[in-house]
Amino acid sequence: MDDGPLADVSACSGERRRSSRIQASSSIGSNGPEPSIQTTPPTESSETAPVTKSARSSPRAGSHAMDHGPTTAQRTGLRRRNEASDFIAPDPISEAMRPLTDEERRNWAGWVELESDPALFNFILREYGVKDVKVQEVLGFDDSLLAMLPKPVYGLIFLFKYRDEEEEEGTEEAPECPKHVWFANQTITNACATVALLNIVMNIPEINLGDALSTFKAETRRLKPPYRGKKLGCDAFIRNIHNSFARRMDMLNADLALSNEMGKWNKAKNSKRKNTKNSKKNKEEEDPGYHFIAYVPINGVVWRLDGLRRQPGNLGEYREDWMAVALANINQHIYQSQQDGVQFSLLSLCKSPLRTDLEKLVENMHSIASVKELLTSIQPDWQQFTELDESILVKVPDSSFGISQELFDNSGLSEATRQRLREAGTDASALIDLYQEYVRDQIRLQTSYMDEAALIEQENEQARRRKHDYTPIIYNSIKKLAERGVLKRIIDEIRENEAMRQRGGEAMGYFASPC
């Protein structure tokens, strides 16, 4: 099936069949010029929902001209485009291997497929302006492995092989999206990863979204899910960050996949007879694509936010552990995937350990200051009885740990520290022991903070390297070797060695044969 690099159709091809159902005045894809959005889209209070099943069979949902056949002008335009598409570049491979510029990436209106990579997702969230969150892989469902995740866990992102007609057990799809749930449909091919991310972060009040996403959330607050998805797909800021790691080959593959989908649609539309039996067979033979969905707790209820479904899915209420409810639903998909021999991936979106360590560090600084103040009032020469060096302690402000005077002033003693101070009372020995304990805690917190900061910098460096497309360099190097005959000599040498090995094996077989 692999006819070369351009034949690598996107793995999210299964999304196209489903996402075309979502009607929001959008085309079947966005790889061409961006379609305009209605100036007054229906809001949550609108009487008519903009989702129709008829959108599935049309490349542009809501386009009546295509249903009645193209006009003369349209046929002329189509003929001209077909003539233009027949043109083949003198060296199409070299053209495909040409380095991609930032301007070309920004001007491209399509979306590329994203890998299920926590480092990539973390970089994208930071570029969006989202603060104090971290995406981390879930290594297993055992309690010991789940306990390793940073707390709190805001949401889960599940990657699995999507089936168009899949039924959800134990999932109650809401008749319409509740006003307190921010949910966007996926109306653009290959956008499922970003849709899943936004469907989580938009529903967590304590997350700092940054200026851009906060504005986007406010602008889409009253929109219905299809129109939220439509506005998301047309947002250049969100799209450009999603495509940060796109290579020219990725863009060509996305365009090719969209062209193939359009060709299938045209072929089906031009058929005078509908063969139900063959259609059913072709449908079964279609390879479903991989798809990202989100699980998030909102107001005591666990929601399954799948951008390819019309409305969010209510998985039920929870008391303490919302993840147990979500994992029960995820296990249904995993069981089916294992039967088909399909791999899956599960990511968690958590509070950043960097922020947690920072908050604990500031709290620790207050604890140390309180113990010192109490010790000084009881025994002024108390420092003679400790060997700890205070120069290692963090001072306010401290830019290396992101501690400002404002942050320090807005925090205070924890109730646990207050209780321990009350228990120590005026016992100088107990207070000195408490002081030494808090100093050791701060050293540990400093180390943990610096390790997490180094990990973030490492992810950023990896992202910068991944933005560079090494394909043209590799291609040109191999091309030079071929032009100089090096590759031919290597191939001839391999063939000669293989022939000698076969002749040697035949000779050994001859001498080993019985007389």
Any idea which residues carry the catalytic annotation? 192, 291
Q: For residue 1, which amino acid is it? A: M
Secondary element (H or E) of residue 281:
helix 276-285
Per the CB < 8 A criterion, the answer to whether 126 and 352 are in contact is no
The contacts of residue 474 (CB under 8 Å, 6+ apart) are none
Instruction: State how far the Cα of 36 lies from the Cα of 231, in Å rounded to an integer.
Output: 10
Instruction: State how far the Cα of 392 lies from the Cα of 370, in Å rounded to an integer.
Output: 18
Which whole-number Å values give the CA distances from 231 to 38, 39, 200, 223, in the listed order? 10, 11, 17, 10
Phi and psi (nearest 5°) for 230?
-65, -45
Per the CB < 8 A criterion, the answer to whether 363 and 414 are in contact is yes
Let me know if 157 is exposed, middle or buried by CB neighbors in 10 A (0-12, 13-18, 19+).
buried
Instruction: State how far the Cα of 393 lies from the Cα of 471, in Å rounded to an integer.
Output: 49
Instruction: State how far the Cα of 316 lies from the Cα of 304, in Å rounded to an integer.
Output: 10
- Determine the longest span between alpha carbons in the chain, in angstroms: 106
Instruction: State how far the Cα of 258 lies from the Cα of 31, in Å rounded to an integer.
Output: 8
Nearest CA to 260 among 8, 62, 4, 83? 8
Per the CB < 8 A criterion, the answer to whether 100 and 247 are in contact is yes
Q: For residue 39, which amino acid is it? A: T
Instruction: Tell me which DSSP letter residue 57 carries.
Output: G
DSSP 456-493: HHHHHHHHHHHHS--HHHHHHHHHHHHHTTHHHHHHHH
Buried b (16+ CB within 10 A) or exposed e, 347-362: bbbbbbbbbbbbebbb
Edge-first strand order for the sheet with 290-298 is: 133-137, 345-351, 153-161, 290-298, 301-305, 313-317, 172-173
Instruction: State how far the Cα of 105 lies from the Cα of 313, in Å rounded to an integer.
Output: 35
Per the CB < 8 A criterion, the answer to whether 408 and 396 are in contact is yes
